């Protein structure tokens, strides 16, 4: 039996990934085993089909949008570093209140990066704004048949109207962040096991 450190040597670029994502070596090892389990054909990468096998994503109304976030720029292959880079957005924020070095990039699990991740789930055409149509599409996915189309349209109009400060009929990223400033996004977008 080897030490945990020797198992981490199996992970390509483990030190670089640890620095970028903030995951502990033990967490990276668990995620690496999960990655390899999802890679049923032992290809060394994941496809959309591999991620669609995850039960929690299969039943999540935004599951397809979340899966899309793993494949930026139309890529069809997801390597381990890309896998953990996306998951890092859901890592709880560290309790230490130390001052961050401004020369270092903002952590992937920061409030701002969590908001950017959430924003891109709504911004379907990636134009930097959430249109009424995009908001309606996402809300339709989220509520399904639980409300009437008329109720859904009303909720959409009210949501966009409340967030749209400049009156252009869409929600920019800045407006999105302002509309969520009282929400505990750090808690709502965290998965405890990803410490």
Token reading at 65: 């949008």
Categorise residue 19: left if φ over 0, alpha if ψ from -120 to 50, beta otherwise: alpha
What CATH architecture does domain 13-89 belong to?
Answer: Orthogonal Bundle (1.10)
Tell me whether the CATH fold assigned to 13-89 matches the one assigned to 107-183: yes
Token reading at 170: 């869409």
Pairing of strands 170-172, 129-131: antiparallel
Residue 101: CB atoms within 10 Å? 7
Give pLDDT tens digits for 136-187.
999 988 887 788 999 999 999 999 999 999 999 999 999 999 999 988 887 7
Domain segments of the chain as ranges: 13-89, 107-183
Rounded percentage of the chain residues whose pLDDT exceeds 70? 89
Confidence of residue 3 (pLDDT cuts 50, 70, 90): very low
CATH fourth-level superfamily of 107-183: EF-hand (1.10.238.10)
pLDDT of 122 higher than 90: yes
Nearest to 35 by CA among 83, 86, 85, 87: 83
Return the minimum-mean-pLDDT range out of 25-29, 175-179, 189-193.
Answer: 189-193
CA–CA distances in Å: residue 132 to residues 45, 119, 155, 186 = 36, 14, 11, 26
CA–CA distances in Å: residue 133 to residues 44, 116, 161, 190 = 38, 19, 13, 28
* pLDDT score at 179: 94
* pLDDT score at 4: 46
């Amino acid at each position: 039996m080897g030490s945990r450190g020797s198992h981490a040597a199996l992970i390509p670029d483990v030190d670089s990934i640890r620095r970028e994502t903030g995951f502990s070596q033990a967490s990276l090892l668990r995620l690496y085993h999960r990655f390899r389990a999802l890679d049923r054909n032992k290809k060394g990468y994941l496809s959309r089909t591999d991620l669609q096998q995850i039960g929690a994503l299969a039943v999540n109304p935004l599951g397809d949008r979340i899966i899309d976030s793993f494949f930026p720029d139309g890529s069809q292959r997801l390597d381990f570093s890309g896998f953990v880079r996306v998951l890092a957005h859901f890592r709880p924020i560290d309790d230490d209140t130390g001052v961050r070095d401004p020369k270092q990039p903002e952590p992937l699990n920061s409030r701002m990066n969590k908001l950017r991740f959430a924003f891109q789930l709504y911004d379907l055409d990636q134009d930097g704004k959430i249109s009424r149509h995009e908001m309606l599409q996402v809300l339709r996915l989220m509520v399904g048949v639980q409300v009437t189309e008329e109720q859904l349209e009303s909720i959409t109009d009210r949501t966009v109207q409340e967030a749209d400060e400049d009156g252009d009929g869409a929600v920019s990223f800045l407006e999105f962040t302002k509309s969520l400033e009282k929400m505990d996004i750090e808690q709502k977008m965290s998965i405890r096991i990803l410490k």
